[in-house]
Chains A and B, each alone.
Chain A
Amino acid sequence: MAMNRKIAYINLTTGEIKTESISEKIRRLYMGGRGLDMYLLYNHVPKGADPLGPDNAAIVSAGLLVGTLASASSRTHVAAKSPLTGYLGSANVGGFFGPEMRQAGFDHLVIKGKSKKPVYLYINNGNIEIRDASDLWGKDVHSTQTMIQEELNDPDVKSLCIGPAGENMVRYACVITSLKNAAGRTGIGAVWGSKNLKAISVRGTLDIEIAHPLEALEYNKEIIDQVVSAKVSKTMQKLGTPFIWGVTNSTGLVRTRNFQLNQLTHSDDIEPESIEEDMIGTAGCFGCQVHCRGKYIIKEGDYKGTYDEGPEYTSIGAFGAEVGCRSKNTVLVGNHLVNYYGMDNLETGSMISWAMELYEKGILTKEDTGGLDLTWGNDDAVIQLIHMIAKKEGLGAILAEGPLRAAEKIGKESLQYQIHVKGMSNLHSDERPTPALALNVAVSSRGSDHLRGRPAIDLYHLPETFLRARYGNPVPYDGPLTSDFRDYEGKPWQVIWQEICYEAVDCLGICKYHTVFLGPNMPAFDEWVKLIYLNTGMKFTAREIWDAADRAYTMERLFNIREGLDRSQDNLVDRYFDEPVPLGLPGIRGRCIDRKKFAKMLDEYYERHGWDEKGVPKKETLKKLSLEKEPSGLL
Chain B
Amino acid sequence: MEKVLVIDPEKCTGCRICEQVCSVWHEKVVNPYRARIKIIKWEMEGKVLPMVCRQCDDAPCLEVCPMDAISKENETGIIFINYDKCIGCRMCVSICPFGAMSYDFVDNKVMKCDLCDGDPQCVRFCDAQAIRFEDKATANEKTRRKAAKQVMDAVN
Contacts and interface: CB of A to CB of B under 8 A. Distances in A.
Interface centre among B13, B16, B31, B33, by most chain A C-beta atoms within 10 angstroms, is B13
B81 to A, nearest CB: 21
A237 B21 CA distance: 21
Contacts of A295: 46
A205 B31 contact: yes
B154 interface: no
A217 B31 contact: no
Contacts of B46: 280-281, 283, 295, 307, 309
Contact of B125 (A142, A209, A213, A221): A221
A280 B124 CA distance: 25
A179 B15 contact: no
Interface residues of B, number: 31
B106 interface: yes
B91 interface: no
Contact of B15 (A178, A216, A287): A287
A283 B41 CA distance: 11
A291 B13 CA distance: 7
A69 B30 contact: yes
A385 to B, nearest CB: 26
B28 interface: yes
B26 to A, nearest CB: 10
A10 interface: no
A67 interface: yes
Given A68-B30, A205-B105, A208-B30, A284 B15 contact: yes
B15 A286 contact: yes
A206 interface: yes
A287 B16 contact: yes
Contacts of A205: 31, 33-34, 105
A511 to B, nearest CB: 11
A145 B25 CA distance: 32
A224 B127 contact: yes
A281 B10 contact: yes
A208 B45 contact: no
A289 B17 contact: yes
A231 to B, nearest CB: 15
Nearest to A297: B46
Contacts of B10: 281
Given A224-B127, A295-B46, A207 B17 contact: no
B29 A208 contact: yes
Interface string A165-181: 00000000000001100
B128 A286 contact: no
A210 B29 contact: yes
B44 A146 contact: yes
B95 interface: no
A221 B124 contact: yes
B77 interface: no
A364 interface: no
B50 interface: no
Nearest to A290: B127
Contacts of A67: 30
A97 interface: no
Contacts of B43: 178-179
A207 B34 contact: yes
Nearest to B12: A281
Nearest to B28: A213
Contacts of A307: 44-46
Interface in A279-324: 280-289, 291, 295, 307, 309
Given A210-B29, A213-B29, A295-B46, A69 B24 contact: yes
Nearest to A103: B31
B121 interface: yes
B20 interface: yes
Contacts of B16: 96, 286-287
B13 A281 contact: yes
Nearest to A67: B30
Contacts of B60: none
Interface in B25-66: 25, 27-34, 41, 43-46
B111 to A, nearest CB: 14
Contacts of B11: 281
Nearest to B105: A205
Contact of A289 (B29, B41, B127): B127
Interface in A320-378: none
A160 to B, nearest CB: 14
Contacts of A289: 15, 17, 125, 127-128
Contacts of A565: none
A287 B17 contact: yes
Contacts of B121: 217
Contacts of A237: 127-128
B86 to A, nearest CB: 22
A388 interface: no
B116 to A, nearest CB: 11
A207 B31 contact: yes
A228 interface: yes
Contacts of A213: 24, 28-29
A67 B31 CA distance: 9
Residue of B25, B29, B30 with most chain A CB atoms under a 10 A cut-off? B30
Nearest to B20: A287
A537 to B, nearest CB: 13
Nearest to A96: B16
A288 B125 CA distance: 10
Nearest to B15: A284
B28 to A, nearest CB: 4
B117 to A, nearest CB: 13
A217 B25 contact: yes
B24 A217 contact: yes
20 contacts: A67-B30, A96-B16, A103-B32, A103-B33, A178-B43, A179-B43, A206-B31, A207-B34, A210-B28, A210-B29, A210-B30, A214-B28, A216-B24, A220-B21, A221-B125, A283-B46, A284-B14, A286-B15, A286-B17, A295-B46
Given A103-B31, A145-B44, A207-B29, 5 more contacts: A69-B21, A207-B31, A209-B29, A286-B20, A289-B127
